[in-house]
Amino acid sequence: MNEPYARLDGLVGRKGFAQLRAHELFATSPIVEVMREKVATLDLANWAEEQLARDVTLLVEALRDTLARRYTGLSLLAFAHILVALDYVVRVKDDVPDTREGGYADDLAVVRRVMNDWDHELDDYRAWRLKMEPLMRPN
């Protein structure tokens, strides 16, 4: 197992998010760190992996803003589906192991399904972020 995958395995283990507890979401979320590590393993020159990185980043930001109570428009069901999709992505050994050629195609399919199923809520989140961007930038 190469270094990035070994680090991910150390962060979440083979059980993915199953080993995390709800109270950990409200601290400095390990999910954000884990997902950043996962995105760092992606080959951004590969279209599918670049798309996966972009989608995962949006989903993580939506979770982070929701957990920080900055954004309140995400439904509980959308939140749950996003967590399940990210759990699938973070697991190295899923239906198609990520270490194989094309191993992220299944991850992208899971994430795209969530993006499509919750497109209205995610569009609302994107619009909110655009409005908040000037306020979030340091002077």
Report DSSP letters for 50-95, one per residue.
Answer: HHHHHHHHHHHHHHHHHHTTS-----HHHHHHHHHHHHHHH-SSSS
19: three-class secondary structure by DSSP: helix
- Phi, psi torsion values for 20, nearest 5 degrees: -85, 150
Percent of the chain past pLDDT 90, that is, above it, reads 42
Instruction: Name the most confidently modeled range: 32-46, 76-90, 92-106, 116-130.
Output: 116-130
- For the segment 68-112, what is each residue's pLDDT rounded down to a tens digit? 889 999 999 999 999 999 989 888 777 787 778 888 889 999 999
The answer to whether 98 and 107 have CB atoms below 8 angstroms apart is yes
pTM as predicted? 0.77
- Which amino acid type is present at position 2? N
